[in-house]
């Protein structure tokens, strides 16, 4: 693998129970990783535990939302001169061993974004039905709008080519549900988007309410088209 | 004068007073104060002299005074709600930028103070 460090960002909000395990899992990869946690105004000990686990912590003083944390992550990566960045969810659902699968196509110059898809392997991830339906619905909307077929547009496990991020970061505005806005902006920039199958752990529980989840995803799509 | 007129006039007077207080506190600029005074003044006048609405009926091509008042009132409410939405979105954007800039600033300060610490992981 490339000798340049890979910047791994974990946006986290009240994840004191999972964050240490996520960080130590990444460290076990024995890759040249720089691990950052963007603590999005947690009220628990997420920041302290993340620091103790060896991550660099960037802290939002108030809670803004997962994609506000992602935008901060992008900004820090650009400041640090990163060429590749990876985002990992803080709830422990993503397996570190999938990381090289996401990063390699970018290092080889074959992709600008690699999405870790929970639906590409034959196993069905344990996910509430409404969320599965929501993900399929939004995949379809993206396909209709852009012609790009995706299986898991909302996955939080992604690798990014920072040259692309530099172009689209100024256009990103969503704080909470920015995944779709991000994909739409990337497609506008003719980004090469790949999906790779990933396995997820089943112990994570989403904190997002059903109605709020659907409403915000739809709002993002409307913004993306307008 | 009917009860509803009295209530309408009192509410308009209360809102005019609130507008003046906000201006005095420096929360409103002159332009904003004039806008709100004009709006509440107009509403108060319509409650005091409902026949004024009758003068506008040919313009709106409507025949019923109450219906005209309701429709125009609804349009004003829609405009105000949209304006409020825009304002909230703008404030949210500014707040987000501020929090992100502080986070990045803090990070850079820590990194400059302890450049080794920044590279400790891995």
Q: What is the 3-state secondary structure (H, E, C) of A161-185?
A: EHHHHHHHHHHCCCCCCCHHHHHHH
The angle subtended at Cα A195 by Cα A101 and Cα A174, nearest 5°, is 110
Establish if A104 belongs to a structural domain: yes
Q: Check CB contact under 8 Å for A60 and B100.
A: yes
* A141-155, A167-181, B11-25: which is most confident: B11-25
Residue-level pLDDT at A101: 93
Task: Quote the percentage of chain A above a pLDDT of 90.
Answer: 57
Establish if A1 belongs to a structural domain: no
Residue-level pLDDT at B122: 46
Structure tokens at B61: 């091509």
**Helix or strand holding residue B38 (H, E):** helix B30-48
Q: Check CB contact under 8 Å for A72 and B103.
A: yes
pLDDT at A122 over 50: yes
pLDDT at A131 over 60: yes
Residue-level pLDDT at A13: 94
Nearest-angstrom CA–CA distance, B71 and A145: 37
Residue-level pLDDT at A210: 64
Establish if A182 belongs to a structural domain: yes
In CATH, what number is assigned to the domain containing residue A207? Answer: 3.90.550.10
Residue-level pLDDT at B63: 76
Stretch B65-94: mean pLDDT: 89
| Chain segment B61-78, per-residue pLDDT in tens | 777 777 888 888 899 899
A223 close to B (CB below 8 A) = no
pLDDT at A146 over 80: yes
Count the residues in chain B: 122
Establish if A80 belongs to a structural domain: yes
Instruction: Specify the number of domains making up chain A.
Output: 1
A179: confidence class by pLDDT, cuts 50, 70, 90: confident
Non-local (6+) Cβ contacts of A217 within 8 A are A134, A138, A154, A177, A180
Give chain A's mean pLDDT.
87
Structure tokens at A95: 């397996």
Q: In A, residues 163-182, which contact B (CB 8 Å cutoff)?
A: 173, 175
Q: Check CB contact under 8 Å for B92 and A31.
A: no
Nearest-angstrom CA–CA distance, A152 and A193: 12
| Chain segment A45-61, per-residue pLDDT in tens | 999 999 999 999 999 99
ipTM of predicted assembly, 2 dp? 0.80
Residue-level pLDDT at A225: 60
Q: Tell which wins on pLDDT, A35 or A127.
A: A35
Range of the domain at A70: 6-225
């Amino acid at each position: 693998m490339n000798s340049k460090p890979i910047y791994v960002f974990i946006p986290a909000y009240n994840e004191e129970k999972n964050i240490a395990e996520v960080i130590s899992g990444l460290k076990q990869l024995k890759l040249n990783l720089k691990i950052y946690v963007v603590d999005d105004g947690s009220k628990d000990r997420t920041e302290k535990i993340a620091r103790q686990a060896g991550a660099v912590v960037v802290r939002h003083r108030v809670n803004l939302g997962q994609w506000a944390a992602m935008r901060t992550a992008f900004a820090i990566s650009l400041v640090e001169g990163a060429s590749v960045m990876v985002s990992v969810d803080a709830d422990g659902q993503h397996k570190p061993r999938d990381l090289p699968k996401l990063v390699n196509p970018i290092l080889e110059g074959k992709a600008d974004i690699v999405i870790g898809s929970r639906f590409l392997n034959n196993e069905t991830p344990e996910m509430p039905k409404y969320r599965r339906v929501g993900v399929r619905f939004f995949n379809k909307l993206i396909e209709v709008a852009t012609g790009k077929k995706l299986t898991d547009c909302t996955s939080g496990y992604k690798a990014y080519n920072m040259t692309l991020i530099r172009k689209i970061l100024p256009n990103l505005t969503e704080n909470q549900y920015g995944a779709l806005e991000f994909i739409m902006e990337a497609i506008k920039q003719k980004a090469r988007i790949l999906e790779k199958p990933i396995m997820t752990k089943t112990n994570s529980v989403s904190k997002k309410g059903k109605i709020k989840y659907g409403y915000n995803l739809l709002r993002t799509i409307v913004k993306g088209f307008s | 004068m009917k009860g509803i007129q009295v209530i309408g006039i009192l509410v308009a007077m209360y809102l005019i007073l609130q507008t003046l207080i906000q201006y005095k506190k420096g929360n409103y600029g002159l332009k904003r104060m004039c806008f709100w005074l004009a709006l509440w003044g107009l509403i108060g006048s319509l409650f005091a002299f409902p026949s004024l609405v009758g003068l506008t009926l040919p313009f709106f091509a409507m025949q019923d005074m109450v219906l005209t008042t309701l429709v125009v009132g609804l349009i004003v409410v829609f405009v105000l709600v949209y304006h409020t939405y825009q304002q909230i979105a703008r404030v949210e954007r500014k707040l987000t930028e501020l929090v992100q800039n502080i986070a990045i600033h803090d990070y850079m300060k820590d990194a400059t103070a302890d450049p080794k610490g920044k590279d400790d992981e891995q």
